[in-house]
Structure 1
């Protein structure tokens, strides 16, 4: 017979993954401050293989408005520059033959509001994922009850599922609030 703790633990692992994914997505949203995360997911052609920029270059943030990309091979400079332009992240790379500099412009009020809409969509996706996990968990408790779990244990499990979902929904809200504050702070 399936234990309710096993079901809850499995759901908690899935919810942790939702939070980790949301954290990653929010980190890649530029908030007017330079961050190495701004280049996450941008691939360059490296010896015929699509490779993440962080695998072919050192990415640093020397000050609040600059991201510095220093390729390990000089021949990669134009390839990285092109990849950044094609990625359309709103930054124009400039190189001096040694490294690529990305200057982060200050955000306009309009752009800040667009970014808040973007992170709101990301957090809503996370909430939908959490509700899906809760629904699956409640279904698992109902199935376990049919398979012989006592009714009160199944009901307690469903209540625990709701409490777990509420706890993770609060984490999503906290992540959203922190990122929104970071974006809207001039």
Structure 2
């Protein structure tokens, strides 16, 4: 089976994938699972997840919550070439950071998720949107405790925006703040 999979991946593709911190055997295992989740597509060149398949996959992982908002954000972040699909290379790049990336890489990925509109900063509204999406996944009705959610976001902004730059936090500042604040670092490094 590995020979068939290796024939579908060129040496160049495998060499690129080896940069993801996974060995050849692990890459082929991930590839097998990826192709299986892509439905009828059975080769590297055609295997990809569209948004519907991606959301369906996360719905299976979280059957009691609403994952749509969160997975749409993940999808936009992982679809690096903006073609409306996540191919195996894009998928492995994300998995590599999540599973084996250092803290700086993970924080950069978290920032990208928070900065879904790719404007280069995060702010109160973006954090509120992400918190609502996370509550949706957990099936928590945040309408009754919306003020609590807003207080959590305001506390987070205060920790991130120590220089009082108007509540807009740039990527480097986000990473720097999280690296220098053990509470933030511990909270966000749990993202695995």
TM-score in same-fold range (> 0.5): no
TM bucket by the smaller chain?
under 0.3
Q: Which has the higher contact order (CA 8 A, sep 6+)?
A: 1
- The structure number with the bigger radius of gyration is 1
Scaled by the length of structure 1, the TM-score of the pair is 0.28
Q: TM-score, normalised by structure 2?
A: 0.27
Considering fraction of residues, name the structure with more strand.
1
